[in-house]
Each structure stands twice: as C-alpha cells, then as structure tokens.
C-alpha cells in the first residue's frame, strides 16, 4: 500500500461522509465539504433574467 498521507481529497457535498470513508481508511486526508458547514452565496445576475416561456 502506498503512503497517501500527503494527499487531500475534497468530498464536495459529502453530507455524512460515507462515500469517502474508504479513502480515509487508506490514509488520505479527507475533508468533507457540505453547504451547511460552508454556506455559499453566489451572485449570478445572468440567472435572474426571465427565461423563455415564463
């Protein structure tokens, strides 16, 4: 088994983190990132325009 201790895995929208458990067990530095822990505010004016058919 190789040394994975210096490798980082970002488990984006990971929720419980269940998906990344095997990587953590293999020695990776796993960081579970969820929207509730890291709220994002995106200002996208182009998304505020009316779409066709509305």
Higher pLDDT, 6 or 38: 6
Report the distance separating Cα 31 and Cα 45, nearest Å.
31
Report the distance separating Cα 6 and Cα 16, nearest Å.
23
pLDDT digits over 10-53, tens only? Answer: 988 777 888 899 999 999 999 988 776 555 566 666 556 555 55
Chain length of the chain: 54
Q: State residue 39's pLDDT score.
A: 58
Rounded to two decimals, the pTM is 0.57
**Residue among 26, 40, 38 nearest 9 (CA):** 26
Q: State residue 17's pLDDT score.
A: 84
Q: State residue 5's pLDDT score.
A: 81
Question: Where are the domains positioned within the chain?
Answer: 1-37
């Amino acid at each position: 088994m190789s040394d994975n201790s210096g490798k980082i895995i970002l488990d984006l929208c990971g929720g419980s983190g269940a998906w990344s458990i095997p990587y953590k067990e293999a020695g990776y530095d796993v960081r579970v990132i969820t929207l509730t822990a890291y709220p994002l505010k995106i200002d996208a004016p182009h998304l505020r325009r009316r779409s066709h058919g509305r």
